[in-house]
A = this chain, B = another copy of it.
Amino acid sequence: MTDLPCVLLTGFAPFGGETENPSWDAVRRLDGETLAGHRIVVRCLPVAFDASLDALRTAIEQTAPALVLCVGQAGGHAQLALERVAINVDDARIPDNLGAQPIDRPVVEGGPAAYFSDLPIKAMRAALLAAEIPAEISQTAGTYVCNHVFYGLMHALREHAGVRGGFIHIPYAPAQAARHPGAPSLAIETVAAGLRVALRTALDTRTDRRLAGGAEH
């Protein structure tokens, strides 16, 4: 079993006054599962600009994954958001869990302006919708710790030939929505099922499908 290649799947700790983070609650359900000939290893990242990437890079060294998928909470979203691009900027509206609040600072000094996801997001979205799980393409992962981790992941993978990376944002859990009047949510079970579909599609697909998934603005 341990000879199988590995997928590194990460969630985040709670932040912004929440007591749970559905990304970790969903991700940890997949710990140890096998998908498309890969064993899933999960990690929980801190919601802190500096510590998050340290933890991610350590996890990559420890697990030597074939594919890395990071998952984060997007309060206010109704669907799984397959992120297309990470940009080289930290701009924090609220402090992170260690009190840092960078403004208009690059994630990586001298790094490129952006990295695109390596994952076949159009095929993943099509597979999710076929599985009746709500999903959309997102053109921005924000400028907070999620984008920071996504950018830092893609930057780090330049040193790991053949390893692919990507990011998915997920809605609040229903219990969180009960504390945010009017906010959408998805059950942790639905998110976990969606992550399995997304990962299997990513592992099975080398060339993405040519499907429109853009936005006018």
Least CB distance from A212 to B in Å reads 5
Contacts of A146 in B (CB 8 A): 216-217
Interface hit among A24-32, A51-59, A83-91? A83-91
**Copies of this protein, total:** 4
Interface residues on chain A, size class? 35 or more
Contacts of A113 in B (CB 8 A): 85, 112-116
Chain A 16-28 interface 0/1 with B at a Cβ cutoff of 8 Å (1 = within): 1000000000000
Contact: A182 with B94, CB < 8 Å? no
Chain A 129-149 interface 0/1 with B at a Cβ cutoff of 8 Å (1 = within): 101111110011111101000
Contact: B134 with A211, CB < 8 Å? no
Contact: B114 with A87, CB < 8 Å? yes
Contact: A87 with B89, CB < 8 Å? no
Of the residues B112, B114, B144, contact of A217 by C-beta under 8 Å: B144
A175 at the interface (CB under 8 A from B): yes
Of the residues B84, B103, B183, B216, contact of A75 by C-beta under 8 Å: B216
Contacts A85-B113, A85-B114; A212 near B74 (Cβ below 8 A): no
Least CB distance from A192 to B in Å reads 12
Q: Most chain-B Cβ atoms within 10 A of its Cβ — which of A78, A89, A169?
A: A78
Contact: B189 with A78, CB < 8 Å? no
Docked Cα-Cα span, A94 to B213, in Å, equals: 10
Closest to A154 in B: B113
A128 at the interface (CB under 8 A from B): yes
Least CB distance from A142 to B in Å reads 4
Least CB distance from A115 to B in Å reads 6
A161 at the interface (CB under 8 A from B): no
Contacts A91-B212, A133-B178; A78 near B217 (Cβ below 8 A): no
Contacts of A101 in B (CB 8 A): 212
A79 at the interface (CB under 8 A from B): yes
Contacts A103-B212, A103-B214, A134-B174 aside, 8 further interface pairs with beta carbons under 8 A come to A92-B212, A93-B214, A112-B114, A113-B113, A139-B143, A140-B140, A140-B217, A144-B214
